[in-house]
Amino acid sequence: MSAKNIFITGRPGIGKTTAIMKAIERLDLPMHGFYTREMREGGSRVGFEIRDLEGNSATMAHVDIDGPPSVSKYGVDPGAVDRVGVAALRRALDEGTVAVLDEVGKMELASDAFVEVLGELLDAEVPVLGTVHAKQETCADRIRDRDDAEVITLTKDNRDEVPGQVARRLQDLWAGR
C-alpha cells in the first residue's frame, strides 16, 4: 500500500511548520486543515494560536489559561482546537479534500474530538499532510506504525528539499485518486 498519510517530524525548531506551509503553497489542490503559531510578548513565548487555512483562529494554549489540561507552562483550551482545528479537518473529510494537520502534538491531543477526527482521517481516502513530534508518544507511534503512512524526518540538510518532495507526492496521490 502506498503512503497517503504523509507526516514530517523532527526536533523542535527545525522548521516543520515552515516545510508544511511551503509544501501547500506549491499545491493547487483543494485542502482544509490548520497550523499552529507561537504567540510572543516582549520577546518571550506566551502561548500558541491555532489557525485554519481559511484564516479563522483561536488561542489554543497560553500561560494565562488555567489548566488542566496543560502542557509545560501553558494551559490548553481544547475548545479552541475543536472550533478551529477539528472543524477544518471535518471539512476536509466532508468535502474529500487534502487534510493538513500542523501538528499532532500534546496540545491538540488534549481534545477528544481531535483524537476522533484524526483516526477518521487516517482511515479515510483523503490524503493527509501533517507534522508529528519526534519524541516517543503513543499517538505518534501509531501513525509511524501504519502501512499507509510515511514519516519524513526533517533535518538541516534536507529541509530545503522536503517541501517540494512532499508537494510532488501529494500531487501524484491526488492525480491517482
Give the pLDDT confidence of 57-75 residue by residue, as tens digits.
Answer: 999 999 999 989 999 999 9
Number of domains in the chain: 1
Q: How confident is the model at residue 136 (pLDDT cuts 50, 70, 90)?
A: low
Cell of 106: 500534546
145-167 residue pLDDT tens: 899 999 999 999 999 999 999 99
Residue 25 structural domain: 5-175
Q: Tell me the C-alpha distance between 57 and 79, whole Å.
A: 12
Work out the number of other CB atoms within 10 angstroms of the CB of residue 110. Answer: 21
**Single pTM value for the model:** 0.93
Chain mean position to CA 75: 20
CATH number of the domain enclosing 156 = 3.40.50.300
Extract the C-alpha cell encoding 37. Answer: 503559531
Q: Which residues contact 107 (CB under 8 A, 6 or more apart)?
A: 36, 48, 60, 61, 71, 74, 76, 81
